[in-house]
Structure formats: structure tokens, C-alpha cells
Amino acid sequence: MKKRIILLVLLGLFSFSSAMASTLVVEQITQPLSGVAPEGATRIPFSKVRFRAQNGKVALYGLYVEKTGTAGQVFSGVALLRNGVQMGMTVTSFGADNRVMLMADSPFEIADGSSYDLTVVGNMHDDLSENHDETIGIAIVGVHTSATVQGFVRIDGTHRRVSAEYVIGTVEVTASVDNPPAGATVFPGETKIFSSVNLIASSVEDEILKSVIVKMTGTATKSDYNGVTLTVGTTSYPMTVLPDGRYYAGGINKTVTNIASTKVSVSANVIGGVGKTISFDIVESTDVELVGTVTGFGTTPIGSGSSFGSFPWFKGTTTNIVQAPQPPPPLPPPTAKQRKAGAMTAIRSLLLHK
């Protein structure tokens, strides 16, 4: 018994030391270029870092960042991107020390030997007149991980000049006619649109719709539906589930003009979940990623209508999953009397049309 206890303790120590052996290697990479930071611009890159997992997989929880430069509160939000896809929620304010933690939705795992580039971006306020010509930056000052960190030093990134004069385009978003009405239902075996919006650009510049991220917020689980699809105009794109398990991303490159609106819809195949609900929300306005074709700056879309709010930005219709209607029972075979009556009717019809 004593030997068994000693063996279990040794195994425990071995497992513990193996878990602690994983290392997050920080690599310095080329930082974003400097330039202007215009009013209303989104996803402006300020700093970048490359992480590589060594001696086992690494769980990354987020980055600790610091606002630098002479400008005041010019950001409407700060976010963390991995290969262009946002990780976690946009943070809307810094602390008293001008620092804040940018978190992932769930621990982001980097496989042993793999590497990822992360970018810290800022979304600018719509009115920057009081901060015009001031400078702004976002430095990476810390890493939140359970692994041993190797090679980390403060990354200052780049500084940009705040501009209240540089004009970029905008996009207005409204619910489309395909957006389901309140009280909508769906049954297993049915493919249905759950959210649908129209986008139209301003006259300043056309916009490129780069991607859309939605969140399934109903009570249904992943086993109750599949085939989440993004349809832009008449073209459909499969959406990829993100590590969180409830967010879905669709990457596209579709031009949005001010001549005609562009319809964007999210659909899915329902395969179960009777008694549950299903809904796809656009949580943040910047989850609709738009880039001006002339200026190259990201644009914050402007929602209009009762479906739009602060959180979520666009509330998809809550659709109830119901039991499929039962087919009517088969009709009983005709009786001898009914067959005779039918035959007599046919004979009369023939005689009348001779």
C-alpha cells in the first residue's frame, strides 16, 4: 500500500512538471506603420506580437496593454485580433493607469511548435475635434498565460496622429424583409434564415465587407443545428465556429455601394432541440468588418431600427424550435358504393361530351 502511495505521488509530480514545461516564446515582428487615426475609423493596428508554443501546447488568456501618447480618451474601444479575427469582446475604457487586459473568449490554445500573430487594434470615437493632431499608441506590456514566458519585452508598437479632418465613409444597416418576425418557429429538418440585414454605403466611398461574426444566443446546443451559413446577396459562404463554440465567422470580400443595398443573412439547418430556442446576434457593430475602398480605413456601421441596440448591437429574432407537423392520416379505401358512384359519374360525363 505504501509503495502504491509513493508511486501515485511520483506520477503526480511527473504530470505537474510536464504541465509546467510548456513555454510561450515571444518573437519580435515588424510593427504597423504610423499614420493618421481618423474619426470613426475601426481596427486601426497599433502593435503586434508573435507567440510560439514550445515543449507542449500553451493556453493563452489575453494581453495586458497600455495607452501611450499625448491624446486623451480618443478610443471607443480596443480589441485583440488573431489572423484578422477578433478574440474576446472590445474593451471600451482603460484603467486609471492607462492599462487594461484584452481577454480571449476562452483559453486560446497554441499547439506545440505552432505560432500565431496577434494584433492590438483601436476603434476611434466619432468626434475627435478636441484631440486633433495629438498622438496615440497602444503598447503590449504583459501576457496572461499559464505557461512559462520566454523572450518577452515591452512592445511599444507605433504611434498615430489623431485627425478630426480626415473623412472616411460610413455604412447604414437596417433589418431586411427576410429577418424573421417575432414569434417565428422552426422545426427539425428545416433550413431557415435567423438573422438578415441590409447594408448601404454613404456617398464618400464604397466599402468592402470583409467578414461577419455572429453569436448563437438561444438555448439550443450545437447538436441541435449545423450548417451555419452566411449569404451575401445571392452567394452563400459556410461560417466557421470559433473556439468559444457559440461564435461563428464568415470571411468574404463583397463591395457595398450607395447605389443599392446589400443583403446579408445567417441561416442554419435545425436537426433537433424541440422546445429550445435559436437566435443569431451581431454582438458588436465592429463584428461587421468593413474597409473603405478609397481610404483603406475600417468603418463602424450605423444600425437603424428596433432590432439595434447597445448590447447586442443587432438582436436576431428568437425562434422557437417546434415539433414538425404530423402528416394527415391516409384516406380509407373507397367502398363498393363509392366506386360504383364514381363509375356512373364518369359514364355520364362521357355521354354528355359525345
- Domains, the chain, ordered by start: 21-163 (2.60.40.1290), 171-321 (2.60.40)
DSSP 327: P
CA-CA-CA-CA torsion sign (46, 40, 43, 168): negative
Beta pairing partners, 83: none
Residue among 85, 90, 113 at smallest CA distance from 101: 90
More confident residue, 332 or 256: 256
For the segment 297-306, the average pLDDT, to the nearest whole number, is: 94
| Contact between residue 57 and residue 122 where contact means Cβ atoms under 8 Å apart | no
The closest of 87, 76, 63 to 136, measured between CA atoms, is 76
| Amino acid code (one letter) for 270 | V
Look at residue 347 in the predicted model and tell me its pLDDT: 64
Residue 9 has pLDDT above 90, yes or no: no
pLDDT, one tens digit per residue, over 160-199 is 999 999 999 999 999 999 999 999 999 999 999 999 999 9
Distance CA 337, CA 248 (A): 62
Q: Are strands 277-278 and 235-238 parallel, antiparallel or unpaired?
A: unpaired
pTM for the predicted model, two decimal places: 0.81
- Indicate the pLDDT class of residue 3, thresholds 50, 70 and 90: very low
> What are the DSSP E strand ranges found in 55-158?
58-68, 75-82, 85-91, 99-110, 115-124, 135-145, 148-150
Question: What's the rounded mean pLDDT across residues 209-218?
Answer: 94
| Model pLDDT for residues 64-83, shown as the tens digit of each residue | 999 999 988 999 999 999 88
Give mean pLDDT, residues 209-224.
Answer: 94
pLDDT tens-digit map of 339-348: 666 666 766 6
Predicted confidence band of residue 44 (pLDDT cuts 50, 70, 90): very high
Q: What is the dihedral of CA 251, 221, 61, 19, to 10 degrees?
A: -120
Grid cell locating 138: 497602444
